[in-house]
Each structure stands twice: as structure tokens, then as C-alpha cells.
Structure 1
Amino acid sequence: MGLAEEIFAVRGGSGHSGRLLGEFRRTTLLVPLSASEDAGLMSGWQGGVRWIYAFTGEEALARFAGARGAGANAHEWEYVSILGARLVDAVIPTVDGPTGVAVDVADEDASMLFPPVVGIVADAYAVDAGADRADAV
């Protein structure tokens, strides 16, 4: 089962969070680049957390671009392909402040958030890690 199917299963109540996280880590995601001068990964802020936008395919990315007003240019957005594991293990530690991953955010019934918590990101970057856990890393 792919990531989109695992998300669907979890949202429907028949999935398993461990399988979902494993599939997220194994999946190559499309992450749009910011149009700003820094050309970093596109992200947004919600609830004090930076959310990196990631998509399971070009169709999901195009829906997001269209929802943001890209119109006919939706298929021209630049993006990088990156494994979910690399996002949480290598990219998130380089970002200032709490950072998670928002997958397929333009798809109301198929989106999923992977927050910066223990078990998803390294304990040193998890907002719920106690001081004793962070020191052990």
C-alpha cells in the first residue's frame, strides 16, 4: 500500500500509525520550492509550527498550486523529490524552530500532518521531548 492509501486507511479508522509512519519514511515526496529569493522549501506557519508542504504526486501538487491561485502555471512549479525519511532526519534539523511535514494539504480528505513530535522527528527537534530525552540524543 502506498502513502496515499495509508493516509486514507488511518483517516477512515482502519489504518495503523506505525505503518503510516513507515510508508511516509519510504515514500518519495514532491516538495515545492519557495518563489522567494531564498528558494528554500515552500512552507507555512500554523500554531507556532512551520509546516513543510509535501505531496504524494504531481496531481496533488497541482491541486495545491491551483488552490493558491497558480491557475495554468500550476504544472510549472519547481519542486524537489525527497524521501520522507530524509525530510525528517536531515532537513528538519536544519530549520529554525518546530517544523513538521504537511502531506497533500489541498486534498481535504486525503491530507495528513506529521508533526515535530517524538517518533517522527529526532528527539532533539521534537516539541514533546522532555529535557532528559533531548539530553540523551
Structure 2
Amino acid sequence: MELTAEIAAFRAGAGDPGRLVGEFRRAVLLVPRSGGSGDGEGGLMSALSGGIRWFYAFTDEGAMARFAEARGEADREWPYLAILGARLADAVVPEVDGPAGVAVNVADPEGSMMFPPVAGIVPDSCAVDIEPETGSAAGVA
């Protein structure tokens, strides 16, 4: 099943978290590049919310176009990087100073999904639910 179908199944209460994360990791995602919008020249477009850096990622150009439209920026060019979800989570997220996750298809109210900085999605060294000193789940003795 592709990522958008797995997101729909999960949102409908019939999805499996493991399959959802697996599809996210296997999916080729389109990540817009920032261009002087305050996110850093040439970096990947993201937003800071609740102390977490969220990278915007889209399953196709249509989803990214809906995001551009929602921002009132559909009239400009949207350069992007095509990257596997696994590479985004395993290589890009660790480069961020602080917790980071991935927001997929954020302009699609019924098709969006957040992949937060937790164990099983991002490397344990970046997961907010892992105690750095012990390597165990936060709050668990």
C-alpha cells in the first residue's frame, strides 16, 4: 500500500502504526527548498511549532501545489528535493539543532500526517521519548 492509502487507513482507525511508518520510510517525498523565506538560503522548508522543527514533505506535486495555494504562494516557482522518507528521518533530522519531525501533506485536512521525533520514526539519538543518558524510554524506570 502506498503512503497516502496508509495515511487514510490510519486516520480511519483501520491502519497499523508499523505499516504507516514503513510506508513513510519507503516513500519518495517532495520537500520544498526554502529560498530566502527565513528558513535559511537553499535549505529545506520547515516551520517551528511547539519547540519542534517540522519539515514539510509531500507525496506528490498536487499535494505540494495545494500547500502553495494555501500559503498564497502558488504564483511562484517551488523548487524541491525528492528524497526517501527514511533518508529525511535518518540523515536530515539529526542535522537539526533540537527536535525535528516531518509533516506530510499538511494542506490536505483529511490526508495529512505528522511523523514526530520519537523512537521508531527518527534515530534514537534524536527521539524526544528516549532518555539520552540511559537510552530507555522517557519516564520508564
TMscore range, shorter length: over 0.9
| Alignment of 1:52 onto 2:45 | no
* Distance across 1 between alignment mates of 2:110 and 2:50: 21
Distance 1:34 1:51 in 2: 13
Q: Which residue of the partner structure matches residue 12 of structure 1?
A: 12
Matching residue of 1:89: 90
Q: Name the SS for the 1:65 alignment partner.
A: helix
Deviation at 1:72, TM superposition (A): 3.0
Which residue of the partner structure matches residue 114 of structure 1? 115
TM-score under structure 2 normalisation? Answer: 0.90
Runs of 4+, deviation exceeding 2 Å: none
> TM-score under structure 1 normalisation?
0.93
SS in 2 for 1:132: coil
Structure 2: unaligned runs, 5 residues or longer: 137-141
Pairing of 1:21-60 with structure 2 (within 5 A): 21-36=21-36, 38-60=41-63
Between the aligned partners of 2:115 and 2:70, the Cα distance in structure 1 is 21
Structure 1 residue 115 displacement after superposition: 0.3
1:39, distance to aligned residue in structure 2 (A): 1.3
- Corresponding residue for 1:72? 75
Deviation at 1:45, TM superposition (A): 1.0
TM-fit CA distance, 1:29 = 0.1
Q: Tell me which residue corresponds to 2:139.
A: none
Range 124-133 or range 58-67, more displaced: 124-133
Match of 2:135 in 1: 133
Describe the superposition over 1:106-128 as per-residue Cα deviations: whole angstroms up to 9, x where unpaired. Answer: 00110000000111111110111
- 1:71-125 superposed Cα distances (whole Å, 9 cap, x missing partner): 333xx20000000000011111111110000000000110000000111111110
Distance (Å, rounded) in 2 between the aligned partners of 1:7 and 1:20:
7
Count of matched residue pairs: 132
- Alpha-carbon distance between aligned partners in 2 of 1:46 and 1:34, rounded to the nearest angstrom: 17
- Structure 1 unmatched runs, 5+: none
RMSD between superposed Cα atoms in Å:
1.1
In the TM superposition, residue 70 of structure 1 has moved relative to its aligned partner by 1.1
Counterparts of 1:5 and 1:71, CA distance in 2:
26
